[in-house]
Amino acid sequence: MSTFNNNIATKFPDLKPRGPGGEALLEAERAKTSFDVKSLSKFMYTEEWLDKMYKVLRVIENEPAFDKTNRYYQSRADKIKTSLWKDRRMIEIAREQNWDEQELQIANFLFDQSTPFSLHYGMFIPTLQSQTTDEQKKLFLEPALKHQIIGCYAQTELGHGSNVQGIETTATYIPETNEFELHSPTLTSSKWWIGGLGKAANHAIVMARLITDGKDLGPHPFCVQIRSFEDHTPLKGVTVGDIGPKFGFNSVDNGFIMFDHYRIPHISFLAKYSQVQPGTGVYSKPPNAKLSYGTMVYVRANIVMGVRYALAKATTIAIRYSTIRQQFVDAASPKKWDNKVIETPVLDYTMQQYRLLPIVASAYACFFTGREMLRLYDLNQKAMQKGNFNLLADLHASSSGLKSLTTTMAIESIEDCRRACGGHGYSMFSGLGQFYQDYLPNVTWEGDNYILTQQTARYLLKTFRNVVAGKAEPSEYNHTISYLTQYLQNPTAKCPATKPSDFLNPELILSAFGFRAAYGIAKVAEKIDREGRSWNSMLVEISRISRAHCQFILVRNFIVTLQNDATLTQSEHKPINKILKTLAALFALHTMEKELSEFLLSGYISSEQCAMLKEQVISLLDVVRPDAVALVDAFALPDYYLHSALGRYDGCVYEAMTKMAEAEPLNHTLVVEGYEENIKPFVHQGKVFAKKDAAFSRL
Amino acid sequence: MSTFNNNIATKFPDLKPRGPGGEALLEAERAKTSFDVKSLSKFMYTEEWLDKMYKVLRVIENEPAFDKTNRYYQSRADKIKTSLWKDRRMIEIAREQNWDEQELQIANFLFDQSTPFSLHYGMFIPTLQSQTTDEQKKLFLEPALKHQIIGCYAQTELGHGSNVQGIETTATYIPETNEFELHSPTLTSSKWWIGGLGKAANHAIVMARLITDGKDLGPHPFCVQIRSFEDHTPLKGVTVGDIGPKFGFNSVDNGFIMFDHYRIPHISFLAKYSQVQPGTGVYSKPPNAKLSYGTMVYVRANIVMGVRYALAKATTIAIRYSTIRQQFVDAASPKKWDNKVIETPVLDYTMQQYRLLPIVASAYACFFTGREMLRLYDLNQKAMQKGNFNLLADLHASSSGLKSLTTTMAIESIEDCRRACGGHGYSMFSGLGQFYQDYLPNVTWEGDNYILTQQTARYLLKTFRNVVAGKAEPSEYNHTISYLTQYLQNPTAKCPATKPSDFLNPELILSAFGFRAAYGIAKVAEKIDREGRSWNSMLVEISRISRAHCQFILVRNFIVTLQNDATLTQSEHKPINKILKTLAALFALHTMEKELSEFLLSGYISSEQCAMLKEQVISLLDVVRPDAVALVDAFALPDYYLHSALGRYDGCVYEAMTKMAEAEPLNHTLVVEGYEENIKPFVHQGKVFAKKDAAFSRL
């Protein structure tokens, strides 16, 4: 009996992939593991968090509004429509299930797609919480928490992004009526990119230049109703809509808005920090805004933690598939299975290991640095409350550069993982395509990645000058000062390595990264301070010193945590500590190799040592290889979250690919729309058909 | 009177962008040009080609089936439907307009989107032309040329891509009926990724393992009918459909197909090179296939030429927009306009120049190398016809590595250009998003970019061994032997540069690139030949020597053509030659800087020289900056082709962004679908509405 279903074009026959199948291959991989996968997951997430995740997962996996089956087939309009559905159901389910804040967060994390309400939670409510008076909280925040009003945050304009001070929208105080008049004077003043604004929001925080008594006081926030409560149509004086399709994020209604002498009441001006006196329009300035830097650190620490998830997701897919996908027989070392030669799983090729294993290592690196940033954020918040601002500058500068460095790493790694999946990486079913598209704005928003490096570099140069002037002492919390001091004490220091394995020494690694960062900073300082070079002409080197500094931090946090962490240094966790140490070395040495010219130019390492370094990187790949699948399993990312045919826990890659192809809407009909008009006339040219389906009937 | 159209949410007010506008800014840029833009265009394309392009452009710009207005809003189903319409109209218009082959090519180039029929022209017909007997030409090729049959090329399988020898589909000869039986034994044997197969084709060239008399003779091509001529339904024994959504290329119906003991007549076996005797099934082998390597060179030369277009398109958009987009006031050197300080156009920042101008240079580099490859292809074809195979090995090896290197450069550059456009680069209206998505498969198809480097490296190592053994002499056509010989004569040579401008010396540049390539090859040869390292363990270095070799070729072709080209050395073309020389230097030195560690490790250049090199790169950016717009204008890419709001020739960026946003389908209604179910219930919670649109009516 045939396994084929003839003439149902969209139904695959009930056949198996050529063996060995993905299940067997992954099982064999997992049998090689050197450590306890669950313990490592618990160490990273805590058992409590994992329990919550599985609890939430069981709920949303079975909720139609959270079903991902159609995700890769949807048109823009479908995406928006189903996203609104998800937004509503999320509110309802959270209530039904009595979820706490963290469980709600987990649900959104697992759903893994932004929606029109995302900015209501992410920006509208937090802004109202931090910038309103009590009266405004009643008026705006309370209904926002009940979703009686749905808001967004309108800052960016068509003509202004990073330079917030340059925005053009005005809010002019009208003393006669005690109102503000919002106005968009030019086309470029249109608010643009505002998530949730295009279709969903009925309110917006609008950043506009406050003008009172003829004086332009720069951008200030206003909370403004924009759509009718009754029927959701735009209010008079408001032109609002969706900005159109984007590279990704198409489940969000990023919008534009323009105001035509649009009057809003005095209460709209968010007045916690600065005020406009009713009637007189007299303005009172906000107090020093240093405290808000703390919040930025928090946001960025979370972005770095998010990078960890991005890298974890990408590598989980690519690593698992690379142990299943077989290509060519490696003649020098043929792979055997049941005593027969099979094609070699691609992860056994050094090049594939070189492309993927350092990314696994970097996922762990970002975890340790994200965790450390959150710890320092807490420390700093407590310190600032006591009036101690000592930690702030270093923390803020590092967080800027780390946001820049790690999100750039993440997006490159997602794409590297996608390419490492070969042709199937290009299928949306890989799970890596839409992921790349949606992740990409991270390199631009919350500070453009190039511009951010200037903030870090300014701090590094200032610190360097202070160290040179003897005005900065090394401290437990400021490693920048430490490595700069060390460098200045011996600017011609040399790396002591005499054999490849010397590069495994953590102290050697840290010295190398510190020296290289300090050398770059010193060179830039010299050019600017002594040779009088302009800041603009030095921007390329400036971005390099920010990167060098942040790579030092990533490496340092990884290495030092393994040495000191109370859990990891327990004897029962020895195997975990061992593999993590290997990953730390791989991350550090692979980074050195990538940035080799800077290490060479600093004079710290020699050509001969570079050759040793390269040897050591290749050796480390060999050590990590057997644990590759276990290391991504430890990320504990459920199949629902991954939504990837290639990255499934069970390895049934080809079964999933064909199942997902069956669901392609184009396959719902045997004959394509447009056949009658566009194909048939050519095929039927001067032809007579004797009987249906006769091959070569035209001959 | 108000310029706003209240309550038509989707209509922008008739306002201008804040001045100076894009038109004025681009005009000022164009006034600074040092050379004649039209002459440079003519040099690259020929006047004849440009005339044809404008002629074709006038036709297709006004043809509804070629309209790009809806391109960025379409769902997958819409894309396929309109693509079939375009395929039909292209056939009809070409007939009406009496277009020659080149004009048809230009039309497809300008349309710039693959369609279901693309592989009919790109693979099905060429395969029939080259691999059929006269009888088969009558049977398949003639109707294919008339579109009575529509075909595709089915080689790749779910489980096999690069390793063609491993495909699983079988074609077993049945002597009793003089037929072949096509069969798909496993799920992984499903043909997959086949362009045009999913919905459009009624025929396929199927690569299947020929089995006759119990012997497996490996993959051979068969021409097979798969859908009914009468009604386009799949024939019995065939399971066929679309493989689903991809990262890009969604206007093409990439398909899958499986065969269930599907019988095809003996004539289906493409029999030009090998035959199966009817009745006996006796197989006769093809002659040596060396000639087919020539075709591969041709395909790859065209890919390199295509890279030029990709880089040209990306930089045209990014450069033009970067002169219009203004951000921050550069305090050290404020930009003035009509005597007023304006924000600085981003292209005036060194970092932006560093990100974009080397890509402009690389577009020109790829042009010169593509042209040289086509010239060598012709030379080699003529030589091979005379039995001379001397050129082939070098040409084939270089073409493999160049395909790998330049397509990787292209995709990275497209993304660099997209990011350099800031936030708006993420809008599909930038023209760079879909472009990136559609270009991406170039790094995987026609030879995976990592695997291809092994082919190049094998040749380089072999040549190295020959040179060492005194068995290879330098020749006019083999520069590999030349640089290897030079290196072996003086493996401790040093770069003579003593000041930054020394790096402008073409001879110095060529020596540096040759030395660095040779050094890398020598090191790999040493590891493999003397230390006995396995090929697998050396794959990372192997890909590096391929890249080093191909960068040498790109640099060499650029430099040498400027020295020798009959047109470019005419005195009237002095300004063009001058700016191209600057670009050649920028391309070469920027490449050196990117690969600095290899140049340093080779010992050829010192740390001090690196500092000079970096200085020189920054100086070159300054020189190129005034000609930046002219250099992209010279690519002569029409707005229809670019379909980009940011890259328009007239600079009306913001006008175009808003116009395109107005056309977003979500803006066709004021109130979003899903409002009633998902938003209204929350907003209306316990509320009474006194009058329509009353702000704060709920209070």
pLDDT at A394: 92
- The pLDDT confidence band at residue B299, using thresholds 50, 70 and 90, is confident
pLDDT at A355: 97
Q: Is residue B693 scored above 50 in pLDDT? A: no
Q: Read off the pLDDT of residues B434-448 as tens digits, 9 standing for 90 and up.
A: 999 999 999 988 888
- Candidates B265, B670, B679; nearest CB to A150: B679
> Phi/psi at A90 (nearest 5 deg)?
-60, -40
B617 by Cβ neighbours in 10 Å (0-12 / 13-18 / 19+) ranks as buried
Q: Which two tokens stand for residue B480?
A: 């590999």
CB contact under 8 A, B87 and A15: no
Q: Read off the pLDDT of residues B125-144 as tens digits, 9 standing for 90 and up.
A: 999 999 999 999 999 999 99
pLDDT at B440: 95
Q: Is residue A190 scored above 70 in pLDDT? A: yes
Q: Which two tokens stand for residue B626?
A: 């005034």
Q: Which of B179, B294, B274, B139 lies closest to B218 in space, CA to CA?
A: B274
pLDDT at A291: 65
Q: Is residue B19 scored above 90 in pLDDT? A: no
pLDDT at A424: 97
Q: Is residue B114 scored above 80 in pLDDT? A: yes
- Candidates B242, B244, B540; nearest CB to A429: B244
Q: Read off the pLDDT of residues B385-411 as tens digits, 9 standing for 90 and up.
A: 898 888 899 999 999 999 999 999 999
Q: Is residue A680 scored above 50 in pLDDT? A: yes
Q: Read off the pLDDT of residues B562-581 as tens digits, 9 standing for 90 and up.
A: 999 999 999 999 999 999 99
Hey, is B216 helix, strand or coil? strand
Domains and CATH numbers, chain A: 121-286 (2.40.110.10), 295-635 (1.20.140.10)
Q: Which of B168, B157, B242 lies closest to B191 in space, CA to CA?
A: B157
CB contact under 8 A, B200 and A672: yes
Q: Is residue A90 scored above 80 in pLDDT? A: yes
Q: Read off the pLDDT of residues A357-369 as tens digits, 9 standing for 90 and up.
A: 999 999 999 999 9
Q: Which two tokens stand for residue A375?
A: 């710890």
Share of chain B above pLDDT 70, in %: 96
| A290: contact with B, CB 8 A cutoff | no
Residues of chain B neighbouring A185 (CB-CB closer than 8 A): 15, 18
Q: How many CB atoms lie within 10 A of CB A494?
A: 12
Average pLDDT, chain B: 94
As a whole number, mean pLDDT of residues B456-480 equals: 94
Annotation marks residue B372 as catalytic: no
Q: Nearest C-alpha of chain A: how many angstroms from B46?
A: 35
Residues of chain A neighbouring B543 (CB-CB closer than 8 A): 351
Find the closest chain B residue to A346 by CA distance: B536
pLDDT at B6: 47
What is d(CA B388, CA B384) in angstroms, rounded to the nearest whole number? 5
Q: Write out the DSSP string of A260-320.
A: SSEEEEGGGB--SS-EE-TTT--EEPPPP-HHHHHHHHHHHHHHHHHHHHHHHHHHHHHHH
A71-85, A513-527, A588-602, B676-690: the lowest-pLDDT one: B676-690
Share of chain A above pLDDT 70, in %: 96
**Alpha-carbon separation of residue A250 from A107, A217, B520 (angstroms):** 20, 36, 46
What is d(CA B324, CA A20) in angstroms, rounded to the nearest whole number? 58
CA geometry: angle B574, B580, B582, nearest 5 deg: 105
pTM for the predicted model, two decimal places: 0.96
Q: How many CB atoms lie within 10 A of CB B536?
A: 17
Q: Which two tokens stand for residue B176?
A: 């009793």
| B492: contact with A, CB 8 A cutoff | no
CB contact under 8 A, B693 and A236: yes
pLDDT at B448: 87
pLDDT at B295: 78
- Candidates A6, A147, A423; nearest CB to B156: A423
As a whole number, mean pLDDT of residues B483-508 equals: 97
Within the 133-152 window of chain B, which residues sit less than 8 Å (CB to CB) from chain A?
A: 139, 143, 146-150
What is d(CA A412, CA B644) in angstroms, rounded to the nearest whole number? 25
CB contact under 8 A, A243 and B200: no
Q: Read off the pLDDT of residues B155-167 as tens digits, 9 standing for 90 and up.
A: 999 999 889 999 9
Find the closest chain A residue to B431 by CA distance: A247
Q: Is B156 annotated as a binding residue?
A: yes
Beta-ladder partners of B670: none
- Candidates A241, A427, A540; nearest CB to B667: A241
| B342: contact with A, CB 8 A cutoff | no
Q: Which of A472, A511, A632, A686 lies closest to A41 in space, CA to CA?
A: A632
Q: Is residue B9 scored above 60 in pLDDT? A: no
| A163: contact with B, CB 8 A cutoff | yes
What is d(CA A518, CA A540) in angstroms, rounded to the nearest whole number? 16
Q: Read off the pLDDT of residues A231-280 as tens digits, 9 standing for 90 and up.
A: 999 999 999 999 999 999 999 999 999 999 999 999 999 999 899 999 99
Residues of chain B neighbouring A146 (CB-CB closer than 8 A): 682, 685
Residues of chain B neighbouring A322 (CB-CB closer than 8 A): none
Q: Which of B598, B488, B511 lies closest to B547 in space, CA to CA?
A: B598
CB contact under 8 A, A225 and B695: yes
A53-62, B179-188, B471-480, B512-521: the lowest-pLDDT one: B471-480
pLDDT at A697: 41
Residue whose structure tokens are 């294919």: B144
pLDDT at A448: 87
Count of CA atoms in the C-beta half-sphere (13 A) of A290: 14
Which has more pLDDT, B153 or A691?
B153
- The pLDDT confidence band at residue A415, using thresholds 50, 70 and 90, is very high
Q: Which residues contact A596 (CB under 8 A, 6 or more apart)?
A: A610, A613, B597, B600, B601
Q: Read off the pLDDT of residues B334-363 as tens digits, 9 standing for 90 and up.
A: 999 999 999 999 999 999 999 999 999 999
- The pLDDT confidence band at residue B689, using thresholds 50, 70 and 90, is low
Q: Which of A559, A576, A553 lies closest to A504 in space, CA to CA?
A: A559
Within the 175-194 window of chain A, which residues sit less than 8 Å (CB to CB) from chain B?
A: 184-190, 192-193
Q: Is residue A293 scored above 90 in pLDDT? A: no
Q: Is A156 annotated as a binding residue?
A: yes
- Candidates A427, A450, A677; nearest CB to B246: A427
Please give the radius of gyration of chain A, using alpha carbons only, rounded to the nearest integer.
29
Q: Which two tokens stand for residue A204?
A: 């917006």
As a whole number, mean pLDDT of residues B223-245 equals: 96
Q: Which of B87, B76, B90 lies closest to B115 in space, CA to CA?
A: B87
Residues of chain A neighbouring B187 (CB-CB closer than 8 A): 12-13, 15-18, 654-655, 658
Question: Is A321 within 8 Å of A336 (Cβ atoms)?
Answer: no
pLDDT at B475: 84
Q: Is residue A694 scored above 70 in pLDDT? A: no
What is d(CA B671, CA B10) in angstroms, rounded to the nearest whole number? 11
What is d(CA B191, CA B167) in angstroms, rounded to the nearest whole number? 9
Q: Read off the pLDDT of residues A563-581 as tens digits, 9 standing for 90 and up.
A: 999 999 999 999 999 999 9
Q: How many CB atoms lie within 10 A of CB B475?
A: 12
Q: Nearest C-alpha of chain A: how many angstroms from B466?
A: 24
Q: Which of A359, A373, A349, A284 lies closest to A318 in space, CA to CA?
A: A359
- Candidates B12, B18, B448; nearest CB to A159: B18
Farthest CA pair distance, chain B: 98
Hey, is A340 helix, strand or coil? strand
- The pLDDT confidence band at residue B288, using thresholds 50, 70 and 90, is low
Residues of chain A neighbouring B540 (CB-CB closer than 8 A): 350-351, 354, 618
Question: Is B248 within 8 Å of B440 (Cβ atoms)?
Answer: yes
Q: Nearest C-alpha of chain B: how many angstroms from A658?
A: 8
Q: Which of A356, A308, A307, A347 lies closest to A324 in space, CA to CA?
A: A347
Q: Which of B335, B315, B421, B644 lies closest to A448 in space, CA to CA?
A: B421
Q: Nearest C-alpha of chain B: how many angstroms from A472?
A: 29
- Candidates A2, A233, A671; nearest CB to B671: A233
What is d(CA B18, CA A424) in angstroms, rounded to the nearest whole number? 46
- Catalytic pick among B446, B541, B595, B676: B446
Q: Is residue A2 scored above 60 in pLDDT? A: no
Count of CA atoms in the C-beta half-sphere (13 A) of A121: 12
Which has more pLDDT, B130 or B513?
B513
In which region does residue B218 sit, left (phi positive, over 0), alpha (psi from -120 to 50) or beta (all else)? left
Among B231, B544, B678, the residue to mutate for chain A (most A Cβ within 10 A): B678
Q: Is residue B694 scored above 50 in pLDDT? A: no
Residues of chain B neighbouring A72 (CB-CB closer than 8 A): 244-245
> Phi/psi at B658 (nearest 5 deg)?
-70, -40
Beta-ladder partners of B242: B255
Among A10, A18, A223, the residue to mutate for chain B (most B Cβ within 10 A): A18
Q: Which two tokens stand for residue B329?
A: 């006031």
As a whole number, mean pLDDT of residues A526-555 equals: 97
**Buried/exposed B286-298: b ≥16 CB within 10 Å, e otherwise:** eeeeeeebbebbb
Residues of chain A neighbouring B445 (CB-CB closer than 8 A): 423
Average pLDDT, chain A: 94
Q: Is residue B699 scored above 90 in pLDDT? A: no
Q: Which residues contact B79 (CB under 8 A, 6 or more apart)?
A: B250, B251
